[in-house]
């Protein structure tokens, strides 16, 4: 028997709407915990409760009767109190705001500055496993979002930065598939209990995405430049030393390292949880359709 009553915090960010959409499509009873109370970007069928996420009492009250809590808040340091609130409310499953690089399986990724806070959340959940179960999701770089912003490949006329030449393979997942995976976790609570799950829409390279774009638009010009990922890592550490105004630049650099440095373990094509969680492995034809949609 799976979980049917689910709450989501951080539902209006980059990932939240896709997860909420899939939860609603699956017929689940969805409650949104909203700091602002703004419901304009959410389906009309969801229940919205205005909460103060800094108040354990407020969150605990909102979580009463909830079976699973999907936490998408961007501040990882705020998650332990939310975990405690979920425990106090009797929530059975906590899904933390991970949804990215291989923190669980790569010591280098876990030790990258500013990404390590995710590992601290994982460790905290492990200490609370006798009070609340959890599932951690690693999906790699968001595939459609990564193309849209020009990180994987710039298809809108700008220059694509090819890391180490653009042939490094990495697992990447569409936002909608991440939502499907969350539904899969809720349908399979025992199989996903107290562990990390790995998903991907496809194993890709930057050059593969560019090649599909060139196939679809043979007359277009896609400019590129090659940058060593080691230089990106060095620049990220330098930015980190320059104070708060450079934190965003440093984070962006470390995210790139976590995807394109082979030591960071971003390729899980040979062993993942797609079949269990209902995520389809994209064919080359599927991938071409994704690129065509984003051109």
Of 295, 15, 10, 263, the C-alpha closest to 139 is 15
Of 177, 194, 165, 92, the C-alpha closest to 140 is 177
Do residue 164 and residue 214 come from a single domain? Answer: yes
Do residue 63 and residue 194 come from a single domain? Answer: yes
| pTM for this prediction | 0.95
Do residue 227 and residue 210 come from a single domain? Answer: yes
CATH code, domain carrying 130: 3.40.50.720
Residue that terminates a domain, selected from 198, 213, 245:
198
User: Quick one: pLDDT at residue 220?
Assistant: 93
Of 136, 102, 104, 150, the C-alpha closest to 262 is 102
The DSSP H or E segment spanning 257 is helix 247-260
Do residue 81 and residue 191 come from a single domain? Answer: yes
Number of domains in the chain: 2
Do residue 75 and residue 101 come from a single domain? Answer: yes
Q: What is the 3-state secondary structure (H, E, C) of 120-166?
A: HHHHHHHHCCCCCEEEEEECCEEHHHHHHCCCCCCCCCCCEEEECCC
Residue 57 lies in a domain: yes
Range(s) of the domain holding residue 79: 5-138+175-198
Do residue 126 and residue 179 come from a single domain? Answer: yes
Residue 227 lies in a domain: yes
Residue 111 lies in a domain: yes
Do residue 92 and residue 149 come from a single domain? Answer: no
CA distance 189 to 184: 9
Residue 283 lies in a domain: yes
The DSSP H or E segment spanning 225 is strand 224-227
User: Quick one: pLDDT at residue 261?
Assistant: 98
Do residue 286 and residue 218 come from a single domain? Answer: yes
User: Quick one: pLDDT at residue 102?
Assistant: 95
CA distance 267 to 259: 9
| Cβ(212)–Cβ(158) below 8 Å | no
Do residue 64 and residue 206 come from a single domain? Answer: no
Do residue 264 and residue 284 come from a single domain? Answer: yes
Residue 25 lies in a domain: yes
| Cβ(199)–Cβ(273) below 8 Å | yes
Residue 224 lies in a domain: yes
Residue that terminates a domain, selected from 183, 198, 213:
198
Residue 260 lies in a domain: yes
Do residue 214 and residue 102 come from a single domain? Answer: no
User: Quick one: pLDDT at residue 39?
Assistant: 67
CATH code, domain carrying 223: 3.90.25
Integer CA distances (angstroms), 220 to 13, 156, 158, 172, 224, in order? 32, 10, 12, 25, 13
Please report, in tens digits, the pLDDT of each residue of the chain (295 residues total): 799 999 999 998 889 999 999 999 999 999 999 987 676 778 888 999 999 999 999 999 999 999 999 999 988 778 999 999 999 999 999 999 999 999 999 999 999 987 878 889 999 999 999 999 999 999 999 999 999 999 999 999 889 999 999 999 999 999 999 999 999 999 999 999 999 999 999 999 999 999 999 999 999 999 999 999 999 999 999 999 998 999 999 999 999 999 999 999 999 999 999 999 999 999 999 999 999 999 9
| Cβ(88)–Cβ(55) below 8 Å | no
**Which residues touch 178 (CB under 8 Å, ≥6 apart)?**
15, 18, 19, 99, 137, 139, 142, 199
Do residue 118 and residue 243 come from a single domain? Answer: no
| Cβ(121)–Cβ(76) below 8 Å | yes
Residue 295 lies in a domain: no
């Amino acid at each position: 028997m799976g979980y049917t009553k689910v709450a989501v915090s951080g539902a209006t960010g980059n990932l939240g709407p896709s997860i909420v959409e899939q939860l609603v499509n699956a017929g689940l009873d969805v409650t949104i915990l909203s700091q602002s109370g703004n419901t304009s970007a959410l389906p009309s069928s969801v229940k919205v409760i205005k909460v103060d996420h800094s108040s354990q009492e407020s969150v605990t009250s909102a979580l009463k009767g909830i079976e699973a809590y999907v936490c998408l808040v961007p501040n990882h340091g705020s998650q332990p109190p939310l975990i405690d609130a979920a425990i106090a409310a009797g929530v059975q499953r906590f899904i933390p705001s991970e949804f990215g690089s291989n923190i669980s399986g790569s010591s280098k990724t876990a030790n990258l500055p500013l990404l390590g806070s995710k590992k601290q959340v994982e460790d905290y959940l492990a200490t609370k496993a006798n009070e609340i179960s959890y599932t951690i999701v690693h999906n790699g770089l968001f595939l459609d979002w990564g193309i849209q912003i020009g990180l994987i490949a710039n298809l809108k006329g700008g220059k694509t930065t090819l890391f180490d030449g653009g042939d490094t393979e990495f697992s990447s997942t569409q936002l909608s598939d991440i939502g499907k995976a969350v539904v899969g976790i809720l349908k399979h609570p025992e199989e996903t209990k107290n562990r990390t799950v790995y998903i991907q829409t496809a194993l890709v390279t930057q050059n593969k995405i560019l090649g599909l774009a060139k196939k679809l638009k043979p007359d277009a010009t896609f400019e590129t430049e090659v940058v060593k990922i080691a230089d990106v890592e060095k620049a990220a550490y330098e930015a980190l030393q320059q104070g708060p105004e450079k934190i965003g630049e440093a984070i962006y650099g470390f995210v790139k390292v976590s995807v394109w440095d082979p030591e960071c373990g971003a390729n899980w094509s040979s062993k993942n949880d797609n079949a269990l969680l209902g995520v389809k492995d994209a064919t080359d034809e599927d991938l071409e359709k994704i690129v065509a949609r984003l051109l």
